[in-house]
Amino acid sequence: MTHLGPSKAARSAKMLGVLKDLVTGLPTAEEKQRATESLEVVVGFLKEMQAHLALVPTVEDTRSLTAALERLDSFLARAEANPVLARAIGLEKPKPRPAQSGRPPLNPVRVQAIVNELEALTLDQIRERLTSEDTYGLADLRGLAKELGVRVQSRTARNALVGQIVTKLGNTRGYRALSRTSDSDD
């Protein structure tokens, strides 16, 4: 009898060697658990990516948006050509009108009378008199401030306005007193 291949014993030994290699190459329970957890993380990431991709609009989804944008562009072009429509939708702001104070200018004679009346008073007396709403109205104070060269904003409070006027009068008196003393020294 001719022998064509390895003997049964050799084949069995070879198969046993392969089986031993297979058994020694198997993972431990801990390695298997870590591999399973890693695969779950990868699967979770892929599912999340798939969910995000589902939210991305397609060209087909945006056709109605594109048509709406074109209609809006056409409407805005017409509005730019029509001033009434442009103003109605807020493209053109109305031209500002010059601000008017809403009150007539104070009589210059009245302002001069107030100045003359205050000249004889001390600064504390001036402050007390100007603070009293019974004596001088806000229009009187604004006119006086303007006469004295004090810049006043339209929303300046009464007390602030009185403070500015008293300061200006005090400074003016101080300058006059200094100029008189320097003139007498010469």
pLDDT of residue 103: 54
pLDDT of residue 93: 63
Q: Are 133 and 100 in contact, with CB atoms under 8 Å apart?
A: no
Confidence of residue 179 (pLDDT cuts 50, 70, 90): confident
Residue 120 inside a domain? The answer is yes
Residue 128 belongs to domain spanning: 108-185
* The CA-based dihedral angle spanning residues 166, 171, 173, 179, taken in that order and rounded to the nearest 10 degrees: -170
User: Region 24-29: what's the mean pLDDT?
Assistant: 88
Residue 100 inside a domain? The answer is no
Mean residue pLDDT across the chain = 82
Q: What stretches of 1-137 adopt beta strand conformation (E)?
A: none
Confidence of residue 40 (pLDDT cuts 50, 70, 90): very high
Q: Is the pLDDT of residue 45 over 60?
A: yes
% of the chain surpassing 70 pLDDT: 87
Q: What angle do CA 89, 95, 99 make, to 5 degrees?
A: 130
Residue 81 inside a domain? The answer is no
Residue 163 inside a domain? The answer is yes
Domain count within the chain: 1
Question: Of 102-106, 112-116, 164-168, which one has max mean pLDDT?
Answer: 164-168
Q: How many CB atoms lie within 10 A of CB 165?
A: 24
Residue 118 inside a domain? The answer is yes
User: Region 61-82: what's the mean pLDDT?
Assistant: 86
pLDDT of residue 101: 52
pLDDT of residue 120: 84
Residue 43 inside a domain? The answer is no
Residue 135 inside a domain? The answer is yes
Q: Is the pLDDT of residue 70 over 70?
A: yes
Residue 10 inside a domain? The answer is no
Q: Are 101 and 137 in contact, with CB atoms under 8 Å apart?
A: no
